[in-house]
């Protein structure tokens, strides 16, 4: 099968390289986001200062720093925001990937052990040893003569061995099919994950800029929560 020869690790690496190559697109949105955030910061600071003056209250400077902090995040979005989030979450993804590889290696070891035990069980009995060993099969054929009963026995041995080989081939094929479906499902999840991360990364500066305005503060938390939840899709 052609699909069985696909190296899924290389495809996952291609997706990671694609994500890194698409990151400069964030800079294209930074200029627009800075304009939106600057206008929002102007209205935000003016409104807060006007409210304090109208109420004859002292001006609280701390809330006024929020638009400027968001502006700094927008200016250095690829390195400051995305770099920080990816650095924090990357060990979690790598740890889960190592756990998956360890479990996969254990399953391969258990499968080899099962095949070895099955081979040893067949070799213990002279009646079934010819199914697993070509040498034993040839030896038993040489011991048979050309009488009608020996011919019937020989035919039965050929049929039993063919049935055993077909059964083993079907089992191995079905096992490889399930393994390939598992790898393909992981690749599909990783592809969707990379696509959504790229879209969120490109629109991230706009989300930060819109969150400067009153009534849109939840845009920031929604963007962060969606980015983290999608980043933790573990293929």
pLDDT digits (tens, 9 = 90+) for 212-223: 988 888 999 999
Measured N-to-C along each axis, helices 61-75 and 148-210 cross at an angle, to the nearest 10 degrees, of: 130
pLDDT band at 197 (very low <50, low <70, confident <90, very high): very high
Instruction: Provide the pLDDT for residue 235.
Output: 54
Query: Are 94 and 54 spatial neighbours (Cβ–Cβ below 8 Å)?
Result: no
pTM for the full predicted model: 0.74
Instruction: Provide the pLDDT for residue 165.
Output: 81
Q: Please report how many Cα atoms fall inside a 13 Å half-sphere around the Cα of residue 168, on the Cβ side.
A: 12
| Span 131-169, pLDDT tens digits | 777 777 677 766 666 667 767 777 777 787 788 788 888
Is residue 13's pLDDT more than 50? yes
- If we measure between CA atoms, which residue out of 65, 63, 78 comes closest to residue 33? 78
What does the domain layout of the chain look like in residue ranges? 20-231
Listed in sequence order, the residues at least 6 apart from 193 whose beta carbon sits closer than 8 Å to its beta carbon are 230, 231, 233, 235
| Span 37-84, pLDDT tens digits | 888 888 888 888 888 778 877 877 777 888 889 989 998 888 889 989
Percent share of the chain, pLDDT over 90: 14
Query: Are 8 and 188 spatial neighbours (Cβ–Cβ below 8 Å)?
Result: no
């Amino acid at each position: 099968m052609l699909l069985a020869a696909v190296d899924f690790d290389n495809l996952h690496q291609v997706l990671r390289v694609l994500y890194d190559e698409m990151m400069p697109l964030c800079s294209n949105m930074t200029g627009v986001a800075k304009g939106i955030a600057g206008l929002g910061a102007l209205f935000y600071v003016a409104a807060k200062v006007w409210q304090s003056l109208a109420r004859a209250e002292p001006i609280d400077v701390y809330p006024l720093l929020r638009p400027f902090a968001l502006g700094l995040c927008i200016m250095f979005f690829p390195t400051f925001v995305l770099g920080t989030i990816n650095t924090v979450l990357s060990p979690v993804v790598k740890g889960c990937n190592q756990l998956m590889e360890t479990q996969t290696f254990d399953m391969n070891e258990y499968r080899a052990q099962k095949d070895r035990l099955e081979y040893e069980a067949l070799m213990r009995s002279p009646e079934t040893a010819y199914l697993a060993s070509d040498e034993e099969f040839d030896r038993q054929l040489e011991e048979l003569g050309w009488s009608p009963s020996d011919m019937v026995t020989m035919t039965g041995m050929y049929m039993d061995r063919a049935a055993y080989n077909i059964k083993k081939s079907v089992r191995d094929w079905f096992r490889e099919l399930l393994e390939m479906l598992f790898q393909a499902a992981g690749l599909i999840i990783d592809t969707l994950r990379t696509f959504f991360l790229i879209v969120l990364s490109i629109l991230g500066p706009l989300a930060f800029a819109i969150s400067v305005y009153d009534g849109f503060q939840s845009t920031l938390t929604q963007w962060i929560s969606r980015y983290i939840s999608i980043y933790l899709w573990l293929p």
